[in-house]
Amino acid sequence: MSELDTTAPPQEPAAPEGLWSSIVDALRGSMHDYTAGPIPRAILMLAIPMVLEMALESVFAVTDVFFVGRLGPDAVATVGLTESMLALIYAVDLGLSMGAAATVARRIGERDSEGAARAAVQAVWLGLTASVIIGVVGVMFAPTFLSLMGAPPGVLANAGYTRIMLGFSGTIMMLFLLNAIFRGAGDAAIAMRVLWFANSINIVLGPCLIFGLGPFPRMGVLGAATATTIGRACGALFALTRLVWTSDRIPIRRVRLTPDPAIMKGVLRLSVSGAIQTFIGTASWIGVVRIVSRFGSDAIAGYTIAFRMIIFALLPSWGISNAAATMVGQALGAKKPERAARAVWLTGWYDCAVLSLAGLVFVVFAKPLVGLFTNEPTVLATGAAGLRIVATGFPFYAFGMVITQAFNGAGDTWTPTLINAVVFWVWEIPLAYALAIPLGRGVDGVFIAITVAFSTLAVVSALLFRRGAWQTTRV
């Protein structure tokens, strides 16, 4: 297949609908055919609810560490180390979500709504099975995992937080999976409402349980884990009811709800490669945090605060990237690969504009922003330096995120898997170690390595995307 000319975003005709009506339709969740019509409007219709969905998730990530930060560096370090372990579980969650979203999007593009419903049911069965297995292992071995991460004694004393988060991680699995199914079908507004509902509970309940406000018991860092688990469980139940009883694009009511090995195998094929892809990337964070932990709880706390703030910026960007995945999957299902490619590059430029602005804010206001979460001098210095360093690479991250999701939306999950393996394990971790310890840059060296690695990933992904092999992937 010939290479597409994608050196610059194409000029699309203006949508006949006004901007305001497009925004209203996006928030309302109006039915829209994403395989036809102006691409900018289609991206807008998908991206607005996806960005708002991730915006509240990012608000929660920052709010959570804001309240936990009042309990001291050990509490923040506990959250940071646990998040690094959860990153491995997120790999499974996101992998299964990739498989489900790509399959559902392709079936919707082919106008096979019942096929999309059958794929969704089998993905849910896979998610429930994985949730039980991971939860049991997490409850049994949480303290051991913390020890292996190099946790100081003060962090090990908070092992109950880790036990709750790992033991009930199935709530995360189901929330990710069900929302991915909605996004693949183009029902981004439902996914937005689900996550807003879940995180609103988290944000309200968190300080109540952490500090014992009103009739609630004072649970400290355990309260943060409890609030998060309750919020996510409520969100997952809400999403499941919407999927089973009210979804118009995925008619679950017309298909069998029993396990179907043939369909499950197809979803699992994409999910396994997607999980390996995410595992390779997220497991590298454990290697990174292991290097940071050599410098003590203050360093871990500074790293945790900086990355919670970076997540604050990247999660809405992830929402924009998810729009590209849905556009690609549905366009390929409709046999329109050129439309898919145009949508990816245009989405990349939109995301670049958003993240560049966020990066500029972080570079200029790093210290006062980190100062909102801690007044410990060492923690403040570490977090501010990390925020500035990592934010300089935001324009690259924008294209990297969009193109990676485009590969996944096409069902080509192996290409980003191989890129992740080389960039993060062969390049990032050795570079982080060399800069931090032999070259004496400390935690700053780790942040520099992260920035270099993610910029490298963006460049390599763009070059491979231009080759166009993703257009022939079978789902």
Q: Tell me how far CA of residue 49 lies from CA of 23, 202, 328, 345, in angstroms.
A: 9, 20, 18, 20
Axis crossing angle, helix 221-241 with helix 39-68, rounded to the nearest 10: 150
- Token duo for residue 205: 């309940």
In a domain, 2, yes or no: no
In a domain, 190, yes or no: yes
Q: Please report how many Cα atoms fall inside a 13 Å half-sphere around the Cα of residue 238, on the Cβ side.
A: 20
Query: What pLDDT does 3 receive?
Result: 39
In a domain, 69, yes or no: yes
In a domain, 175, yes or no: yes
- Token duo for residue 68: 């936990």
In a domain, 329, yes or no: yes
pTM score above 0.85: no
Per-residue pLDDT tens digits for 129-179: 989 999 999 999 999 988 888 888 888 888 999 999 999 989 989 998 999
In a domain, 1, yes or no: no
Per-residue pLDDT tens digits for 193-250: 998 899 889 889 999 999 999 899 999 999 999 999 999 999 999 999 988 887 677 8
- Residue 176 backbone class (left: φ over 0; alpha: ψ -120 to 50; beta: rest): alpha
Q: Give residue 143's identity as a one-letter amino acid code.
A: P
Q: What is the pLDDT along the chain (475 residues), one digit of tens a residue?
A: 433 444 444 444 444 456 677 777 777 766 778 888 889 888 888 888 888 877 777 676 667 778 888 888 888 888 888 887 887 787 788 888 888 999 999 999 998 988 999 999 999 999 999 899 999 999 999 999 888 888 888 888 889 999 999 999 899 899 989 999 998 988 888 888 998 899 889 889 999 999 999 899 999 999 999 999 999 999 999 999 988 887 677 888 777 888 888 888 888 888 888 888 888 877 787 788 889 988 988 898 899 889 878 888 887 888 889 899 999 999 999 999 999 999 999 999 999 999 999 999 999 999 999 998 888 899 999 999 999 999 999 999 999 999 999 999 998 989 999 999 999 999 999 999 999 999 999 999 999 999 999 999 999 999 999 999 999 888 7
Q: Please report how many Cα atoms fall inside a 13 Å half-sphere around the Cα of residue 350, on the Cβ side.
A: 26
Distance CA 254, CA 275 (A): 30
C-beta of residue 298 within 8 angstroms of C-beta of residue 128: no
In a domain, 11, yes or no: no
Query: What pLDDT does 474 receive?
Result: 82
In a domain, 7, yes or no: no
C-beta of residue 106 within 8 angstroms of C-beta of residue 336: no
Total number of domains constituting the chain: 1
Query: What pLDDT does 152 receive?
Result: 85
Instruction: Label residue 22 exposed, middle or buried (CB < 10 Å: 0-12, 13-18, 19+).
Output: buried
Q: Say which residues have a Cβ less than 8 Å from residue 369's Cβ, sequence separation at least 6.
A: 309, 362, 384, 387
Q: Say which residues have a Cβ less than 8 Å from residue 108's Cβ, sequence separation at least 6.
A: 116, 184, 185, 186, 249, 329, 330, 333
Distance CA 329, CA 471 (A): 10
What domain range is 144 assigned to? 22-472
Helix residue ranges per DSSP H, 69-158: 73-109, 113-148, 153-156
Q: Which of 322, 195, 184, 199 is nearest to 247 (CA)?
A: 184
Q: Tell me how far CA of residue 70 lies from CA of 22, 56, 76, 210, in angstroms.
A: 42, 21, 9, 10
Distance CA 158, CA 140 (A): 15
